Structure 1
Amino acid sequence: MFKSTSPHLEKQTARLYYLDWLRVIAILGVFLFHAVHPFDLTPWHIKNAEQSTAVTVFIAFMFPWGMPFFFLLAGAGSYFALRRRTAVAFARERFNRLLLPFIAGSILLMPVMLYFEWRHKLETGLLTSSFREFLLDRNVGFTPIWFGALGYH
């Protein structure tokens, strides 16, 4: 199935479309997971006045599977990518494709997200601390990084 011209790198490989479709399903699942969070019964940055037990059950079901599924897909993708390129080329590609957009998105989007979160808390009376305390007690701008350390974001 795979033919290698080098003992270390394989040049020609067939595309595994099922991995692409699994990624599409995973991304749609993440979108849905975050889109319904304002309607569940758990704490979240912005909450709707009406909340649903059914949505909470959906969130509870999705939560333990989401990140492990992404790690599985990332591992499979990395395995196949490393068959076609060196580790240095792989690291450079991942840096350009993942880290740079993450940094740019954090700088450009996190302030907007924090603005809406604070506006919601002010409007609903949920603001219990000063902005200074919020900045000192919370990692502002890189909240997804804390997912692994804290188990939530």
Structure 2
Amino acid sequence: MKTERRHDIDWLRVIAIGLLLIYHISIIFQPWAMFIGFIRSDEFLEGLWKPMTMLNVWRIPLLFYVSGMGLYFAMRKRNWKQLLLERAKRILIPFAFGFVAITTLHMFIFQKYYDMPLGYFPHAGHLWFLGNIFAYVLLLLPLFFYLKRNEKGRFKKGLSAFMGNPVGPLLISLFFVVEAVAVKPQLFSMYAQTWHGFFLGLLAFFFGFLFVYSGKTFWQTVLRWRWLYIGLAAVLFGIRYFMYATEAPGYLTAIESNCWIFGVFGLGYKYLNRPSKTLSYLSQAAYPAYIIHMFVLYAGALLILPLEIPILFKFIGIVAFTGVGCFIIYEFVLKRIRFLRPLFGLKWTYKKIEKGKTLTSNQN
């Protein structure tokens, strides 16, 4: 059965991972970087954190939404056994390998930078996201296959009608409000290896699936009302920034987060839902780049921070080093060495991408 490709979803995943790299590099230039295990610059660019405070409340939830959408697309061609096997290969293997062999690398660099005794310390690190996603697949797969078997039932018809109203997506935020009120996270943006991050991710993953399951009405709604959602998000960000010094109560931040995301979905659906050769390449490269970016970033900090150059050039240098380093490792190592490919979420076989085609692991 031929199905519509959603290139905008692929683009949003690529963009979200790109923003993640910028976000992590920005942390290096903040006074509190060492408290969360980052190499810290002796000079600070605290102004960088102003835009990051807007970004950090929706960048990770967006990825969870997109991951839930990706599972819907993966289910179109697979039964539950095939899907579990595919997700284990795609998520569990890179997570397990990364836990013992990738996250340890940036800790070695951290130890070297601060002249600490070198020690082997396996940990989830930034790959906590993959562990969460696989847990969500295990938890929600029975429900998702039940919904798939009843795609012509009352629930889908009701959901489609509900998503056709601009208030529909906004009401989804109430679930996130309940999560924030019940869990009471110290900081809304503390997702990594916290119960807040787990439950918020579970909700976003679940509703990401439901958004694509509901059909075109959700996308038509966010397309038509995208500026309403972005306007609401901007107002809530202003309240958070000026009245609460960027840390508003969780219930307000939960609504702001979703408003940004719905606005981004609308913009993506309007401007990004078309194939391109660039997307074909980046959609394949984004996942391996996410896995390796932290030790490349730390290596850039190790080499560039001691240089006698203006601090802004150091920031630009680390951004360039990370981007180029990830490209070189992906293009000339991970993509071409067969036994490494599955360890970084790639298929065993390497085929050149044909011009004009966009085949991503999210939607195959």
TM-score using structure 1 length: 0.72
Maintained 8 Å contact 2:99/2:122: no
Aligned to 2:59: 66
Instruction: State the one-letter code of the partner of 1:149.
Output: T
Question: Is 1:147 matched with 2:140?
Answer: no
Aligned to 1:84: 77
Query: How do 1:94-105 residues align onto structure 2 when only pairs under 5 Å count?
Result: 94-105=87-98
The offset of 1:109, in angstroms, is 1.9
Q: Aligned with 1:64: secondary structure?
A: coil
Aligned to 2:105: 112
The offset of 1:47, in angstroms, is 0.4
Maintained 8 Å contact 2:29/2:45: yes
Maintained 8 Å contact 1:40/1:51: yes
Q: Aligned with 2:68: secondary structure?
A: helix
Maintained 8 Å contact 1:41/1:56: no
Maintained 8 Å contact 2:101/2:122: no
Question: Is 1:21 matched with 2:11?
Answer: yes
Work out which structure has the larger RCO, using CA pairs closer than 8 Å and 6 or more positions apart in sequence. 2
Closer, same or farther: CA 55–151 of 1 in aligned 2, 3 Å: farther
Question: Is 1:33 matched with 2:23?
Answer: yes
Aligned to 2:275: none
Maintained 8 Å contact 2:74/2:83: yes
Q: After superposition, what is the alpha-carbon deviation per residue over 1:60-117, rounded to whole angstroms, capped at 9, x for unaligned?
A: 2222112100011011111222233212211111110111112222322222211111
Unaligned segments of structure 1, at least 5 residues: 1-10
The offset of 1:40, in angstroms, is 2.2
* Distance in 1, Cα, partners of 2:193 & 2:84: 21
Maintained 8 Å contact 1:46/1:117: yes
* Distance in 1, Cα, partners of 2:107 & 2:122: 8
Task: Give the 4+ runs in structure 1 shifted more than 4 A.
Answer: none
Closer, same or farther: CA 20–92 of 1 in aligned 2, 3 Å: same
The offset of 1:28, in angstroms, is 0.6
The offset of 1:119, in angstroms, is 2.3
The offset of 1:58, in angstroms, is 2.7
Maintained 8 Å contact 2:13/2:66: yes
The offset of 1:150, in angstroms, is 6.3
TM-score using structure 2 length: 0.33
Question: Which of 18, 42, 50 is matched with 1:49 structurally?
Answer: 42
Pairs aligned (count)? 131
* Distance in 1, Cα, partners of 2:195 & 2:3: 39
Maintained 8 Å contact 1:40/1:59: no
The offset of 1:25, in angstroms, is 0.6
The offset of 1:140, in angstroms, is 4.1
Closer, same or farther: CA 107–131 of 1 in aligned 2, 3 Å: closer
Closer, same or farther: CA 151–47 of 1 in aligned 2, 3 Å: farther
Closer, same or farther: CA 56–42 of 1 in aligned 2, 3 Å: farther
Q: Aligned with 1:27: secondary structure?
A: helix
For the aligned residues, what is the CA RMSD?
2.7
**Identity, % of aligned positions:** 24
